[in-house]
Structure 1
Amino acid sequence: MLPFCFLRVAGQNRRHRRRYASARLAISSIVYLCQLLCLAKAVLVALLGEEIVWPGRHGDVGLVFMYGAICASLIGLLTQLLSATALVTAWEEGRSEEGEESQSLLGKTEDRERGQRRKSTVAVLLAFSAQDTPLLLLAFLAGAAAALGQALIPYYTGVIIDCASIDPDAKEFQWTCLKLVVVSLGCAVFTGIRGGLFTIGMTRLNVRIRTSLFDALMRQEIAFFSATRTGEITSRLSADTTTVSDQICLNLNVGLRSLTQAAMVLVFMFRASWRLSVITFIIIPAIILITKVYGAYYRQLAKAVQKELADANSVAEEALSSMTTVRAHAAENSATAAYGECLRKFYTLQLKEALAYGSYMICTTFLPNAVNVVTLYYGGNLVLDDMMSAGALVSFMLYVASLNGAFQALGDVFSAFAAALGAADKVIELIQREPKMPDAGSLQPPSFSGRLELQDVSFSYPSRPNSRVLDGISLRVNPGEVVALVGPSGGGKTSIVKLVERFYLPDSGAVLLDGRDVGLYDPRWLKRRVALVAQEPVLFARSVRRNICYGLEAEDGVPSQDVPSAADVERAARLANAHDFISAMPQGYDTDCGEKGVSLSGGQKQRIAIARALVRNPTVLLLDEATSALDSDSEAVVQEALDRMMRNHTVLVIAHRLSTVAGADRILVISAGAVAEEGTHESLAEAGGLYSALVRRQFSKTASSASLATTVHGSSYTSLPALNPLAPANAPSSQGTPL
C-alpha cells in the first residue's frame, strides 16, 4: 500500500511526474513481482500442503492464510494494473514528459485549466447512464440469474456422469437430467431478458448522447464552425455516438454477465476442489497484465482511427457537396486521391490494430489451454488417488472452460471499452465544450427604433488573428435611413454585418442598437426585428412555406399569435416577386425545396430568402448583395418592394451594382477596414475619389462586355447607345444598362 500511495501522489503532481517516472516504474515492477511470488507460493501450498484451516505446529500453512494471501495478491494486482500507475503507463508517461518541456507555458496552463474543467469520460458516461439505473439493475439481476444457471449446468453434468457410471443410480440420474433441463430453460429465459433490457438501455443512451451533442453544437459560436470541418462534426454526431452507445451498453451487458459468471463459477470450483482452483488462479495476473497493456495501446489506436475516419468523411462530404465545382474543374482524380490518402492512413492504423489483436489473442488463447493441461494432469492424479471423483473432475473442467470464456470475454470487453472510450473522448469533449462567446442577454425593450452604431470597432477573425479586417471603424445609421456600403472585396463590408448579427465579437469598440450593446438583447427577440438576406441564400429540405417561416414556427418558441399566417407568407412572397413562380409549382407553397434548395434556381432561392426576411416585418434590414442573383426585371421588381419596405426602417445594404445603392441616403466606401469616403451617390461620383473610380471601372467592364457581344455575334451595329452610369434602376433601356 505504501508504494501504491507513493505512485498515486507522484502521478498527480505534474511537476514531479518526470522526476519520479523511473522510481515509479521500478516500484511497480517490484510490487508486481512480489504479488506473483505470493501467488506462486499459494499454488505450491495447494500442491504440497495439508488440508488444515489454521497453521499447524510444524509450520504447515493453513487455508485461511493461503486464501488471504491469494486475495491480497489479486486485489493488489487489480488495483495496480487497473490504475494509472501500471508498468506500461509509467513508462509511457516518463517518455511523454521529455517532449512536454518544448510546450509553451501558456499551452500548459490552458491544458491544465481544460483538464480541471472537464470531467473524466467515464464519469460523464456514467452520468448519462444514471437515468437508466433501474433498467440496468433489473438487467443485472436477470444476468445474475442466468450466470447462476450457467454455473449449475457443469455441476449437474458431473452429477449425471457420476450417477450413470461411477455410482449408478437410475432415479437420481433421471431426476438430475430433469433439473438440468429446467436450469437450461431458466438460463435461456433470463439471458433473453438481460439482452433485451440492455438493448433498450443502449438505445436510450444513444438518443441521450446524440441529443446532448447536437444541443452542444447548436450553442457553439460561429467561429467554431469556421474552424471545424462539417464532415468531422457529422462523423462525431453519427458514427462516434453510435460507437459509444452500442459498445458501452453491449459490452456492459457482456462484462456484467462475465463477471457474474466468473464469480458463480469460482464458488462451484472451490466446492469441487480447492486445490485445483488455486492452480487455475495463476493465469489471472497474466491475463490482467496482457489485457491492461493491450487495452492501453488499443485505446490510443482507436482514437487515431476515429480521427482518420473523421478526416475521410470531411474530404468526402466536401467533394460530394460541391460536385458541380469538382466536375467543372475536372478535379475528380485529386478528390479521389485525397480521400484515398485518408483511407491509407486508416488502413495503416487498422493493420496495427490487427497485429495487436492477433498478439493478444495468441496469448489469451494459449494461456488458458496451458492451464487446462496442468489442471487435467493434477486432477487426474487426484482421481487416481481417490481424492476426487471422475464426475467432479469433469465438472471442474467445465468450470475452467466457463471461467476461461468469462475472462476472455472480459478481455474483449476491455478492448471494446477502450475503443468506445477512444470515440467517446472527442464526443464528450464537444459536449462539454463551452462556447468562447459569452451568452447573450435577455433584454426585450417595449420599443425598438433600430438605430445602429459602430463605435471605433476593430476586428480580426479568430482563424486569422493577425489579419486585421476592421481597423477602428465608426458609423451610424439612423432609424428610417438607408446606408449603403460599397468598396473593393475584402474591405470588411460583410464583416460589419456579421458583427451586427453578433456572429462574432469585436476585438475592441462596440456595436450598438438603440444605444445598447447587441449582446444585451434576447437573441430570439432580436432576430425577429433584425432580418438578414445573405449573399448566398441557404434553403433547407422543407416546403417553401416553412422556408419562408424559418425561425418563426411554434417549435422555435415563437408565441402562437406571432407565427406567420398563410396570408403573411403570401404577402412576403409577393413583395419579393416570388409568388408567381411558387404558385406555378405543382404543390405551390407546399413544394419541397430539396437539400440546400437544389430544386430551385439561384434567383428563385434568393427571392425566397428575401421573402423570409420580409415576413418578419423587421425594424432593421441587413442586405448583403440581396439582389445579386436576380435578372434585371426581377431585380427591378424586388428593388421596388425593398424600397417600400425600407421606409421607416433602418437599412444597411451591401452591394456592388449601382442600381442597388444609387438611391441610398448615404453611401460609405469601405476600404482596408475603414471608412474611406462618405456621401450621396451624386457627390461621391463627382468627387473623383475611390467611389468614382469604382463607378468608372464598372462602366468600363459593362461597355467592354457589350462590345465583345457585338463582335462575337457579328452584329451590323456600328455604334452603341451611350451608357449612363448614373441612370436609375428603372430607367428605359435607351438610357443604358443599370450597373
Structure 2
Amino acid sequence: MPGTVAVRPYLLVLAFDGLLWLLVWLYVVSSGVTHSLGTWLTWLWCYRLVSLAILHHLARFINAESGQTVLMRWVAALCLLCPTYETVKTLLPVGSSYHCPVPDVGTVALGAASTSIACVLWEYVFPDKAKGDTVKEKKQQEARALLMRVVRYAAPDYLYLAAAFLFLALTAICETYIPIYIGKVIDILSGTYEHTSFLWAIGLMGLYSLGSSLFGGLRGGIFMCSLCRLNKRVRHMLFQNLMRQEVSFFEENKPGSLSSRLISDTDKMGRSVALNVNVLLRSLVKTVGMLWLMLGLSWELTLLACVEMPLTALLQNNYNTVSQTLSQQLQDCQAEARELASESIGAVHMVRSFHAERQELERYQGALDKIFRIKRRKGIYSAVHLLLRRMVTVGLKVLMLLQGRALISSQRLSMGSLLSFVLYQKDMATNMKHLVYIYGDMLTTVTASVKVFQLLDRTPKMREEGSLAPPTLEGKLAFNNVTFSYPSRQDVQALKDVTLEVAAGRMTALVGPNGSGKSSCVSLLQRFYEPRQGEVLLDGVPLRDYQHRYLRSKVAVVSQDPYLFSGSVGYNIQYGLQGCTEEQVKEAGRRANVDSFIWDFRDGYDTDVGECGGQLSGGQKQCIAIARALVRRPQILILDEATSCMDVHTQDAVQAVLNGAKGQTVLVIAHRLQTVEKADHIVFLDNGQVVEQGTHKELMDRKGQYYRLREKLFLED
C-alpha cells in the first residue's frame, strides 16, 4: 500500500476475516454439509458475500478518514477473489478444485497474499489523485485526450488496423503455444519414446513457429502501411493549415521550426503511438494467454511468477526518481563546465593579461569535480539497483525451481511442463514490464508532440475573405484614416491616420525616408495585415470583402528582392497561374527584358534558377519577377524598388513597358528621380504620416520636405 496509508486497519480486517473463516469452518465440520458441485459453490459465494458486508462496515468504522478508498478496494478483492477464481476453474477447468464449502488454511493464506500483491500493484500503477496532484492529473488528462485524437486520425485506416490486430493476435497465440510443445517434446524424449507422438509434437511446434513468423511479418507490414498513411494524412492537414495562417504568424515562428514540426514531429508522433499500441496489444494478448496456460500447468508456480513484477516495479520506480534527480544535476553541472570553458577560451587575452591561468584552471577543475561526484553517485545507485533487482529475480527463480522439484517429485508436474513454465516466466516478466510502462510512455510521447496539435488547431487571426468578385474593376485604391502597427511591434505605429488615394489608370509614387511607412502601405494593399483603424478600399469596397483568388488575379506586386523557387525560369514566370501557355510566358519575358539574358543560357526558359534563384544575379531575378507579374495582366501593379538591381539600360526598357500600359493602375516606390518624375501623383510620407501630395513640379515649387530631402531621397543618374 502507499506510504500514507496505515497498516493497522489492514491487519485488523485480516484478523477479523480469519475469525469469520474459523467460525464458518467449525460450523461446516459439525453440520456435515454435502460436497456436491452446486452446494460448495453456493456455500462459498454466500460465505464470502456475507464476509464482504461485515468487513465493509468494519473497515468504515476503524478507518473513517485516511486511505478509505484503498481499504475498501482491498476488502472487496479479498472477499471476491476466491469464489470468482473457483467459479472460473469450474466453468473452464484449468486445474483441480478442492470441493469444500470453505477453503482450507493454505488457500486462505494464498488468497490474502495474492490480493495484497494485486492491490499494491494497482495502487502503484494507478494511484488515487491527491490534493497536490491536480496539475499532474490535468496533464495526464490532456495527454489521454491527445492520444485519443491520434487514434481518431487513424480511423480512416480501420480495415488495415483490423487486419493488423487480427494478425497480431494470431502471432501472439502462436508464440504462446510454442513452449507447450517444447515441453511435450522433452517429456517424450525423457520418458517412453513414442514415434507418432514425437512427430505430432515436432510438427505442431514447427507449425506454430511458422505461423508466428508469417503472421508477425504480415502484422508488421500492415502496421507500417497504416503508419505511412497516418503520417501522410497528418502532414497534409498540418501543411494545409499552415498555408492558411496570416503573414505575421510566419514572422513570429522560424521556418526551420515549422519544417521540423511538419516532418520530424509528425513522424515521431505517428511512429511512437503506432509502435507503442502494437507492443501494448501484443503484450496484453500474450500475457493473458500465458497466464491461462501457466495456471493450467501450476497455480503455485504462477503465484511465484506474479510476485516478481510488483517487486521489480517498486525498485524501478525508486531508482527512476533518484536517477532523474541526478541526471538533472549532471546536466546543470555539464552546462556550467561548458560555460566556464567557453568563457575562459573566449577571453584568453584577458586571462593572459592578468596572469589568471591558474585561477581559471581551478575553477574548471572544481566544475569537473562536481561532475565526477554526481556520476559516481549515479553509478553507485545504478549498481545497487541492479544488484537488488538481480537478487529478487534470482531468488524467485530459485524458489520456483525448488517448488517445481517438489511438484515433479509428487508427480503433479512433468519435466517438460516445468521447462515450458520457465520459458513462459521469462517472457512474462518482459510482457508485464511493457504493460506497466508502455501506457505512460505513450502519454509522454504524445505530450512531446503537443506543438503539432497546437498548429493543427490554430485559426488565422485575420478576418475571413469575402465573396465579392465583380466582372470589371476600375482599379482605384484608397486609404481611409488608416492606423497600423505590426503584430510584433504593437507599441510602434507604422502608419498614423493615413488618408490617400491612388487614382485608377494612373501612376502614383510613394516617396519618403527609410521607415516612413511606404512598405507598410504595400503590405496592407496585399492584405498581409489588417489595419488597426480605418480601411483600405478598392473601388470603394474594403479589401476584405473581395475573394482572395480574385484579388490576387487583379493585383500584382514586384518587390525589391523577389523570391524565386527552385525550378526553371518558365516555371517561376507562370508560378501560381493556371492554364498559362508557353507563348504567354515568352511574351511576358520579352516585355520584362528577360530575353536580354535568357538566350545566353543553353536551356533558355527551361534553365534551372537554382535554390532561391541562386544561379541568377539580382537584376535577372527582378526581370523574372516583373515577367511573373505581367503574365497575369493585372489591373493594379505595385512596384517596390522593382528595378533597383538592374543596369540603366534595362531599367529604362522595363520602365517604359510598365508606364505604357493603358488603363492600368501603377503604384511605385523608387529611389530614382527619373522614375518618380514620370508619376502622375506623388505622395510624400514621413514618420508614418502623409506630409505632402502632388506632382513633381508642384512639390518642387512648394519647397517643402520633398524639395529639401530630394538629394537624400533619390540617386542621381
Q: TM-score scaled by structure 2? A: 0.74
Match of 2:642 in 1: 626
Residue 649 of structure 1 corresponds to: 664
In structure 2, how many angstroms separate the alpha carbons of the residues matched to 1:33 and 1:376? 36
Q: Is the 8 A contact 1:54 1:64 kept in 2?
A: no
For residues 399 and 256 of structure 1, the distance between their equivalents in structure 2, rounded to whole angstroms, comes to 18
CA distance in structure 2 between the aligned counterparts of 1:374 and 1:239, rounded to whole angstroms: 48
Q: 1:119 to 1:406 in 2, by over 3 A?
A: closer
Contact 2:636 2:664 in 1 (8 A): yes
Specify the code of the residue in structure 1 equivalent to 2:598: I
User: Residue 143 and residue 281 in structure 1: after superposition, are their counterparts in 2 closer, same or farther (change >3 A)?
Assistant: same
Which deviates the most, 138-147 or 421-430?
421-430
Q: Residues 411-434 of structure 1: CA distance to partner in whole angstroms, max 9, x if unpaired?
A: 674465355314421111111111
Determine if contact 2:567/2:608 at 8 Å carries over to the other structure.
yes
Q: Which residue of 1 aligns with 2:167?
A: 142
Residue in 2 that maps onto 1:574: 590
* Aligned partner of residue 154 in structure 2, secondary structure: helix
Is 1:372 aligned to residue 407 of structure 2?
A: no
Amino acid aligned to 1:587: D
Aligned to 1:677: 692
Counterpart of 2:251 in 1: which secondary structure? helix
> How far apart in 1 are the matches of 2:318 and 2:500?
63
Number of the residue aligned with 2:576: 551
Deviation sequence 1:599-642 (CA, Å, 0-9, x none): 11000001100111111100111111111111111111111111
**Within 5 Å, which residues of 2 pair with 1:67-82?**
73=119, 77=123, 80-81=126-127
Question: Contact 1:473 / 1:675 at 8 angstroms: preserved in 2?
Answer: yes
For residues 99-138 of structure 1, give each alpha carbon's deviation from its aligned partner in whole angstroms, at most 9, with x where no partner exists.
xxxxxxxxxxxx9xxx99x993212211111111111111
Distance in 1 separating the partners of 2:483 and 2:427:
70
8 Å CA contact retained: 2:129, 2:137: no
Say if 1:51 and 1:62, in contact at 8 Å, map to a contact too: no
- Selected match of 2:673 from 658, 665, 678: 658
Q: Percent identity?
A: 36
Residue 497 in structure 1 maps to residue 522 in structure 2:
yes
8 A Cα contact 1:55 1:61, kept in partner: no
Three-state SS of the structure 2 residue aligned to 1:281 is helix
Q: Is the CA contact (8 Å cut-off) linking 2:553 and 2:632 kept in structure 1?
A: yes
- The 1:371–1:673 alpha-carbon spacing in structure 2 relative to 1, beyond 3 Å, is farther
Q: Structure 1 residues 637 and 257, CA, compared in 2 at 3 Å: closer, same or farther?
A: same
Over 3 Å counting, the alpha-carbon distance change for 1:634 and 1:241 in structure 2 is same
Alignment match of 1:456 (pick from 462, 467, 481): 481
Residue 691 (structure 1) aligns with: 706
Per the TM alignment, residue 360 of structure 1 is displaced from its structure 2 partner at its CA by 13
User: 1:121 maps to what in 2?
Assistant: 146
Per the TM alignment, residue 547 of structure 1 is displaced from its structure 2 partner at its CA by 0.5
TM-score (norm 1): 0.72
Q: Show the counterpart of 2:423.
A: 398
C-alpha contact 1:498 1:504 (8 A) present in aligned 2: yes
- The residue type paired with residue 612 of structure 1 is R
CA–CA distance in structure 1, aligned partners of residues 464 and 383 of structure 2: 51
Cα distance, 1:203 vs structure 2: 1.1
Amino acid at match of 1:246: R
Q: Do the aligned partners of residues 386 and 58 (structure 1) sit closer, same or farther apart at CA in structure 2, a change above 3 Å counting?
A: closer
Aligned in 2, Cα 1:406/1:461: closer, same or farther, shift over 3 Å?
A: same
State the distance in 1 between where 2:249 and 2:284 align.
43
**Counterpart of 1:688 in structure 2: which amino acid?**
K
SS at match of 2:98: coil
Match of residue 176 from structure 1: 201
Q: Which amino acid aligns with 2:240?
A: D
CA distance in 1 between counterparts of 2:165 and 2:385 reads: 28
Q: Which amino acid aligns with 2:98?
A: I
Deviations, residues 209-246 of structure 1 (Å, cap 9, x unaligned): 21111111111111110000111111111211221222
| Residue 480 in structure 1 maps to residue 505 in structure 2 | yes
225-234 or 682-691, which deviates more:
682-691
- Asked if the contact 2:699–2:707 (Cα under 8 Å) also holds between the matched residues in 1, the reply is yes
**In structure 2, which of residues 509, 523, 533 is the aligned counterpart of residue 508 of structure 1?**
533
Greater CA drift, 173-182 or 537-546: 173-182
- 2:647 and 2:304 map into 1 onto residues whose CA distance is 88
Q: How many residue pairs were aligned? A: 592
What's 1:189 paired with? 214
Distance 2:159 2:146 in 1: 22
Shift of 1:38: 6.5
Deviates more, 1:382-391 or 1:626-635: 382-391
8 A Cα contact 1:244 1:421, kept in partner: yes
Letter in 2 for 1:661: V
- The 8 Å contact of residues 299 and 415 in structure 1, kept in 2 or not, is answered as no
The residue correspondences of 1:241-252 to structure 2 (distance < 5 A) are: 241-252=266-277
Give the 3-state SS of the residue equivalent to 1:678 in structure 2: strand
Question: 1:281-430 counterparts in 2 under 5 A?
Answer: 281-285=306-310, 362=386, 371-410=396-435, 413-414=438-439, 417-418=442-443, 420-430=445-455
Aligned letter for 2:160? L
What secondary structure is seen at the aligned counterpart in 2 of 1:683? helix
The Cα of 1:34 is off from its aligned counterpart by 7.0
Aligned equivalent of 1:309: none
Do 2:485 and 2:492's aligned partners in 1 also have CA atoms closer than 8 Å?
A: yes
Name the SS for the 1:181 alignment partner.
Answer: helix
Change in Cα spacing, 1:95 to 1:641, as seen in structure 2 (3 Å) is same
How far residue 86 of structure 1 moved from its aligned partner, in angstroms, is 5.8
- Whether the 8 Å CA contact 2:81–2:111 is kept in 1: the answer is no
CA contact (8 A) 2:568 2:605 kept: yes
Equivalent residue, structure 1, for 2:248: 223
CA distance in 1, matches of 2:324, 2:673: 60
Query: How big is the shift at 1:693?
Result: 2.1
- Mark the structure with the bigger radius of gyration: 2
Q: Does 1:261 align with 2:286?
A: yes
Closer/same/farther in 2, CA of residues 438 and 68 from structure 1, 3 Å limit? farther
- Correspondence list, 1:79-158, <5 A: 80-81=126-127, 93=134, 120-158=145-183
| 2:600 aligned to which of 584, 587, 593 | 584
Structure-1 residue corresponding to 2:98: 52
Deviation at 1:260, TM superposition (A): 1.4
Q: Output the amino acid matched with 1:697.
A: K
Structure 1 residues 684, 149: closer, same or farther in 2, change over 3 A?
Answer: same
1:614 aligns with 2:630: yes
- Flag structure 2 segments of 5+ consecutive residues without an equivalent: 1-64, 86-95, 328-374
The CA deviation at 1:445 is 1.3
1:673 corresponds to which letter in structure 2?
G
What's 1:446 paired with?
Answer: 471
Stretches of structure 1 lacking an aligned partner (at least 5 in a row): 1-25, 98-110, 303-350, 554-562, 703-736
Kindly state the Cα deviation for residue 694 of structure 1 after the two structures are TM-superposed: 2.1
Partner of 2:610: 594
Conserved 8 A contact 2:510-2:682: yes
User: How many angstroms apart in 1 are the aligned matches of 2:320 and 2:502?
Assistant: 62
Name 2:190's counterpart in structure 1: 165
Matches of 1:628 and 1:615 in 2, distance apart?
21
Q: Could you tell me which residue of structure 1 aligns to residue 654 of structure 2?
A: 638
**Alignment match, 1:31:** 70
Q: 1:360, 1:438 → 2: CA distance? A: 62
What CA distance in whole angstroms lies between the structure 2 residues aligned with 1:76 and 1:183?
34
